[in-house]
Chains A and B, each alone.
Chain A
């Protein structure tokens, strides 16, 4: 695919309302959203012969994982749409969105399927999202839970503090990341945070959870579903909307044996740098070519890490770029890294807002939020060292 695109494009999509708790089950929400995406692409359910997702329910809690309730797999969705596809698969690993996009691309280019429905469904259980009443810590948990190192907020607290200490960054600067995400989320009708922007004062007054991480550095758990239809670039010409092509993708995973949830900053930046090199090699792109660089923000420090590994600024200088207004996308020259609201501005949709913003902007379907220059986009997901990124290009 080097520099020439994957030969696969997105031809339609749908996004549910993002709510704290939906009035229907996650399975029903996903079936409705999938039907709308298939219709948006100008297809019937029977035309879709491939299904992909990454179905992880990303909780540290003791919640049951039940298909159609707390998670939705490809096979569950196909069955409940009443179809029997040639191909159904799930990506197992981190960076569920780029991982599952790669499954869709490979299914189409190999001939395993002609029209692939990609979906991602996220669930907010009743009660505490990560709360876990364990009395004993077995297996990998024995090394970290007994001392209280548990769950993703402590996980991100350590490398975020390493960043602050190493580069002399101020915690207060992160307000600009979260306020930017919420500013865009407030403009998005389906967002949980629609019409609810955040002020810097609100951010600074929020309770600390695991220093230096405060409440608003974390995305809020939600119920929501999104679906996208992929097909070959050749078939994509015959559908109602302007195709958005998958130019390439890259990912990475830790190479060093660590304690559970231990993500030292050097791991994030080292393996993350390799993820970026793979992306540029696969696509022939460079940072300056990207009109819509949608960075992952499930925890706010990821925005710094992605800015640096992708080369939007030198390593150690993302906080300075942000402090100077460099990611305020309403300013001329401001990088639109959170123009889709991200996870902080929509709710815990796990990389969906980044992918959706790329699709809407590059297909010219972003409505009043449409940006003038939107030909090349990146959709990042998870950590640069344990996740991935997809590059999209518009038909123009």
Chain B
């Protein structure tokens, strides 16, 4: 194992902002942030639909605000084919709804509350994610 591209300071700062968003949403609105939950509920239920929409809109506005303030380009690289992106999207969508959370819902909101379910979920998706990358890199 070699450590590469490690950016601990920006990671920690960005993470603190994510934690702040989770704390605000809980303190003021009484809800836990889980992106998969908010996004799927926006689609499938009328409850809190406007709040869910505004949150998702904010999530998309966030990177634009960052770009306006810092004048920095945001670079992302996705090298997968559309077919693979479609398969992965289906797995992520159905999987997160079956387990009740994703990286934010289980990984941050759930673990913040010391929920054992969320700790088990997070360990599981990390192990499977790591194994998937390992298999992908060997074939």
Say whether A and B bind each other: no
